Amino acid sequence: MRLDKCLSNSGHGSRSEVRHQIKKGLVSLQGRVITDPAYNVREQDFSQLTVAGKPAQIKLNVHLMMHKPPGLITAMEDKKLPTIAEIIPAKWLNSGLFPVGRLDRDTTGLLILTNDGILCHRLISPRWDIWKTYQVEIDGQVFSAADKTVFQDGIVLEDGLKCMPANLDILTANQANLSIQEGKFHQVKRMMQATGRRVTKLHRLSFGPLTLDEGLLPGDCRELTKREIEILYAAAQLEPKF
């Protein structure tokens, strides 16, 4: 892997900051100064890299859990609107992270970010059976026991698209937990709309095997634990990358 990519992915600064450090002669491999940012570092040599005389601590794979607050769009950049990148700690901003699926601007709750493209792709594809659970509050038609079957049978959206079976756990007349296994655009809102309701609050509680850490306040994010990484990769039928 290119030396500059390796260092910037691992939190040593932006690609241009890292290139500057390399050209200044601050980066060494096995005691030998490397001044070429494109130098190809082998994985077995990562532990021998130093920056300004200190071990470089290379960590290429980053997986985060975020408690998304309302008001941010699920993108790493946008010309007009504030994005989730604003609440990602600076050390992870150059790691090539992207969000796993999208939550609407007003939706809150669990958002996973990773820089593993294959993992991301599998987690959002309906082929891998990754269920997501949302806490929904609605106005309009109140929930009744019969709705469970309606959602289980597959809601037909207003444009004629049929959804896969979903589980509706009714909490009160206007609150439920809804679990779905796909992620169509505005899916939960459109499912509610197709059944005579309007979503007034939407919060994601879980994504596949992961549930939102109750200790994470809105706007916080943290790295996934080793165990969480293992079960997330297992759900996507992949070998874990830590």
- Asked if 27 is part of the footprint of ligand URA (rule: CB under 6 A), the reply reads no
What is the spatial distance between Cα 81 and Cα 239, in angstroms, rounded to a whole number?
Answer: 36
Among 84, 168, 202, 221, binds ligand URA (CB under 6 A): 202
Q: What burial class does residue 159 get, using C-beta atoms within 10 Å of its C-beta: 0-12 exposed, 13-18 middle, 19+ buried?
A: exposed
Sheet holding 27-29, edge to edge: 32-33, 27-29, 49-51, 54-55
Nearer to ligand URA, 49 or 73 (CB): 73
Nearer to ligand URA, 46 or 151 (CB): 151
Site for ligand URA in 72-131 (CB under 6 A): 103-104, 107
Q: How far is the CB of 214 from ligand URA (least distance, A)?
A: 20
CB 21 within 8 A of CB 51: yes
Residues 6+ apart with CB under 8 A from 116: 61, 63, 241
CB 76 within 8 A of CB 178: no
Mark the segment that binds ligand URA (CB under 6 A) among 22-30, 85-93, 182-190, 209-217: 182-190
Nearer to ligand URA, 10 or 107 (CB): 107
Among 189, 207, 208, 228, binds ligand URA (CB under 6 A): 189
Q: Is 104 known to be catalytic?
A: yes
Local structure of residue 80 (DSSP, 8 states): S
The size of the interface with ligand URA (CB under 6 A), counted in residues, is 8
CB 219 within 8 A of CB 213: no
Residues 6+ apart with CB under 8 A from 80: none
- Asked if 187 is part of the footprint of ligand URA (rule: CB under 6 A), the reply reads yes
Among 168, 188, 210, 235, binds ligand URA (CB under 6 A): 188
Nearer to ligand URA, 72 or 188 (CB): 188
What is the spatial distance between Cα 195 and Cα 175, in angstroms, rounded to a whole number?
Answer: 14
Helices 117-124, 226-235: crossing angle, 10 deg rounding: 60
Q: How far is the CB of 197 from ligand URA (least distance, A)?
A: 12
Q: Which of 18, 43, 35 is nearest to 242 (CA)?
A: 43
Residues 6+ apart with CB under 8 A from 133: 177, 178, 179, 204, 205, 206
Q: How far is the CB of 124 from ligand URA (least distance, A)?
A: 12
Mark the segment that binds ligand URA (CB under 6 A) among 28-36, 139-147, 184-192, 218-226: 184-192
Q: How far is the CB of 168 from ligand URA (least distance, A)?
A: 14
- Asked if 17 is part of the footprint of ligand URA (rule: CB under 6 A), the reply reads no
- Asked if 203 is part of the footprint of ligand URA (rule: CB under 6 A), the reply reads no
Select which of 104, 169, 213, 220 is catalytic.
104
Q: Which residues are catalytic?
A: 104
Binding site for ligand URA (CB under 6 A): 103-104, 107, 186-189, 202
